[in-house]
Each structure stands twice: as C-alpha cells, then as structure tokens.
Structure 1
Amino acid sequence: MALHKRNTSSDTTPTAAITVVERKAAARLATILVRKAAMQAGTVQVISPNGEQVELPAALADVMFRAAEIVAEGKHVTVLADEELMSTQDAAELLGVSRQYLVRLIDRGEIPAEMVGTHRRVHAKDIKTFKEARDAARNSALDRLTALSEDLGGYDLEKVSNTGSHR
C-alpha cells in the first residue's frame, strides 16, 4: 500500500511530481526484482558504489518491489511500520476521507484506536486492514453492477446504435 506521511509537523509543501526518468528507473527495478525472485527464490543483492554487497531478505525485496511498482505509476511512497501510531488527520488522508468521518468510524468501532492523552491514534496496520476491506467491498459491488449491466444488455452496442441514443 502506498503511504504518505509528513516528516515534520511543519512540512506543508506538496511533494514534487515523480519524473519520467524516475518512473522508468522504478519500472526497471520492479522488473529486475520480479525476475530475480522468480529465478533465485527471492535472492536480491545490492552493490554499493565502493563494491560492498548486501543480500536482501525476501521481505525487504518484496517491499522494494512494491515501492518500485508504485513509483513507476507516478505515485509517492512512504514505508510505515505496522505498529506505527498515526494521527487521525494522517490516517484520514491515507484513506482519502475527512478527519471527521474517520473519527466517526473510530467511534462506531469500525477502526480500532488508542487514546494518547486527549488524542486518538490509530495503528497503520489497522488503517491498511480497513482500506483493504473497504476496497474489496467496493470492487465486489462494482463487479455485481457490471454483471447486472451485462445481463440486461447494457454493453450491447448494436441496441444502442439501433435506437439512435448514443452520443
């Protein structure tokens, strides 16, 4: 999951767009990581400019692969530990909802939260879990809607062109 988190509370400037060169490099890295994983069961090595070699564990190679995929799509990535506590504002931004809506989800028990002083904090893993469930439900509903439209002939171009109602 692509995550964006501010480094400091005073960091309010938007992140610069990812360049085409960066996107191409990320796509190439993702391709190399997939090829390496398929050929050598996840063995990936990083070599520094001075020749030092480090073999990456499979979990780290997976994170690098996913990050490379996301950057190749032109999106920004930040890695968060599952246990990291987030403010309701940061969590809301991650989900693409308002902070007030997120607080209502917390109050209804749909997303677990902890109180730190007078502030609610949520674990990154709980936001990820909620987002995955929400997205799965959304995709399921879209699949049902598509199937219904197909059953009713909603995608039949001949019927649309014969009625003269296409635009």
Structure 2
Amino acid sequence: MSRFAPRTAPALAPDDSEALRRALAAGDVTVFADGTAYRLPDEARDAVLDLLARLARGESVTVSSAEEVLTVAQAAELAGISHSYVRKLTDLGTWPVEYRGSHRRIRREDLLASVEAQQAQKKGREGS
C-alpha cells in the first residue's frame, strides 16, 4: 500500500540513453541539489543506480513507495509486548491490521502512533 501515486518516466531517447550509459560506466555518482553535492546512503544510492541503469537500457520506469509492514512477532518486539497481546489488540480493533491471507500485518507507522498514544495516556493518568 502506498500513500503517494506512482510516477512513471518514459524511456529515454537513444542519444540520452547512450550518454547515461557512459556516465554510469564512469562510476562517478554524485547527487547535486541546489548546487550542493550530497552523498546518498547505500540503500538510496543503489536504488537510484538501478533506476538510472534501467533508463539507460531504454526501459520506462515506474517509481512507487511502499509502507513498511510488520509481522505480529516484529510488532511485539518493537512495542515490547507479547505476541498474544498484539493479536488481542488487533482483534479488538485497537491496532489497525491488514491480512495477507491468514497472516496479520501491522503498519509500522500505525504501531508507533498507537504506542505513543498509549504512553501519553499513561503519563496523563500518572500526572492527575
């Protein structure tokens, strides 16, 4: 599931594809934004290089974002609670859940928001 619409870039013209192939073969990958050079983290660099390589081969490319979803075990570990309690929270509708077949998946963003809300509620009760 993505919150942003995918963006498709058409294949490059042959001359542009060839110029991009030569630039990628040179191995110099520097990203400039507003005249400032930035070093990308490895994961971002690899994704950008993959996208550019596909364009250099004359392919059209679609870019989309993916939300991080967690298994029950991952959600339990992140929240510091038991697996069975995570299942109970999803069954009660306290935590939003998506099903992939019979497997529960919890969006990381939803989990963190729920944990934060519960902690704020707990602090409010303690402060009263």
TM-score, length basis structure 1: 0.38
User: With CA pairs under 8 Å and 6+ residues apart, which has the higher RCO, 1 or 2?
Assistant: 2
> Which structure has greater strand proportion?
2
